[in-house]
Structure 1
Amino acid sequence: MYTPKYFQHTDTTAIQDFIREHGFGILISQKDGNLMATHIPLELSEDGNKLTGHISKANPQWKSFTESGEVLVIFNGPHTYISSSWYNHKNVPTWNYMAVHAYGTIRTIEGEALFQSLAHLMNKYERDSMHPVTVESLSAEYITKAMQGVVGFEIVITKLEATHKLSQNRDRESYDNIIHELKKREDADSAQIARAMEKNHNSLFNGKS
């Protein structure tokens, strides 16, 4: 991922937290020179070294899963348009965003490993439901049938890249005005980018006029 030095994010713990918060990723693999991509939820292991998930057995992408081949998973966070009218100087408009790329090697999983992967993923997203459903609450027959319709996988992460493009290359006046203008908007992405910029403010401008 091309990332100018201003926007590079290297805090491993923060990157892992980002993946857990924005776990609906894009899995990209290649077979016979053809790129394939699927939008799916993934679960990051406690140690941050592995991703697990599953796709439908009807999805041909699973046939590209080989342990020797590299895959890429893209996790997108908030993003929003930045108008050049918000600067104190002439410049082009841009787009602020937060994203993580995870590279790794992939292998399929079955049996207990697949069951645990499904259970962890389901429990994660059901926990805020008024009446949460767990894998354990479903019949063994139903779970067995469901597992037969998917291909589970595990990705051992070999590299993480993160970009937080949050106007770090702007002067303080323009930076503050961007935050001010983003807060006027009513969409969630603009609000999240504004909060992220506020969080960075002291580290960027502490002691500077």
Structure 2
Amino acid sequence: MYSPPQFEEKDETVLRALIEAHPLGLLISTAGSEALANPVPFLVSVSGGATTLRAHLSKANPQWRHIRDGAQVLVVFQGAESYVTPSWYQSKAEHGKVVPTWNYAMVQARGAATVHEGAEWLGPQVSELTDRQEAQRPEAWKVTDAPEKFVAAQLRGIVGIEIAVTELSGKWKVSQNRPEADRRGVQAGLAAQGDAAMAELVGRYGGQKNDKVTP
């Protein structure tokens, strides 16, 4: 990923937080001259300093066959993103030499993939993924709410994907390269149109004080 130094985010705690907040990653793999990409919800965990991603695919999806032998894969997680109009820049009024851009926060994970078949691995993965997404609901649904035989049949139709992450990189392009007055204009403009997440990132990464933390 092309990432000028001012946009690099190297804190792995921050990178994993974005994955947890935006778990639908784009799983990318290649086999010969063919490239495949599928959106897949992931779980991220860390043990002994090593990051692992876990997910599952339908057996009807050919991608798992491409990666079953420990192939290298790339997973892209997209966080907050927003169009930035030059109309928000003070420098537009000063000299007019400005252009539109796009702000975004992104994490890319690379590593070797392992394929898992069998309920002993898939059952806990599916349950944990479900529990995390249902946690804030007043009446959280659990996998055990469905009939046991039905769940068993569903598990037979999927395969697990486990990725031992060897490279975790982040790019937070949030107006750090603009003068302070321009950054303040971008933050105010985003806030005015209701984009609180990106407004907060522009303020935080631009050196302005803000206690909120939003990946």
Aligned residues of 2:174 and 2:202 also touching (Cα < 8 A)? yes
Show the counterpart of 1:85.
87
SS at match of 1:50: strand
Show the counterpart of 1:196.
201
Show the counterpart of 1:170.
178
Q: Equivalences for 1:1-209 in 2 at 5 Å? A: 1-47=1-47, 49-89=51-91, 90-111=97-118, 112-186=120-194, 190-202=195-207
Aligned residues of 2:84 and 2:103 also touching (Cα < 8 A)? yes
Summarize deviations over 1:11-39 as a string: whole Å, max 9, x none.
Answer: 11111111111101110111122000111
Aligned residues of 2:106 and 2:170 also touching (Cα < 8 A)? yes
Summarize deviations over 1:63-85 as a string: whole Å, max 9, x none.
Answer: 11134421000000111111122
SS at match of 1:133: coil
SS at match of 2:172: strand
Summarize deviations over 1:39-75 as a string: whole Å, max 9, x none.
Answer: 1111012436111111111111111113442100000
Aligned residues of 1:67 and 1:105 also touching (Cα < 8 A)? no
The CA deviation at 1:197 is 1.5
Q: What code does the residue aligned with 1:59 have?
A: N
Structure 2 gaps, min length 5: 92-96, 210-215
Q: What code does the residue aligned with 1:12 have?
A: E
The alignment's C-alpha RMSD in Å is 1.6
The percent identity for this pair of structures is 32
SS at match of 1:26: strand
SS at match of 2:201: helix
SS at match of 1:118: helix
Aligned residues of 1:99 and 1:162 also touching (Cα < 8 A)? yes
TM-score, normalised with respect to structure 1: 0.90
The CA deviation at 1:198 is 1.7
Show the counterpart of 1:207.
none
In structure 2, how many angstroms separate the alpha carbons of the residues matched to 1:130 and 1:46? 29
Aligned residues of 2:176 and 2:206 also touching (Cα < 8 A)? no
Tell me how many residue pairs correspond in the alignment. 201
SS at match of 1:20: helix
Summarize deviations over 1:78-118 as a string: whole Å, max 9, x none.
Answer: 11111122223322211000000000110111231111111
Aligned residues of 1:79 and 1:193 also touching (Cα < 8 A)? yes
Aligned residues of 2:67 and 2:113 also touching (Cα < 8 A)? yes
Aligned residues of 2:175 and 2:206 also touching (Cα < 8 A)? no
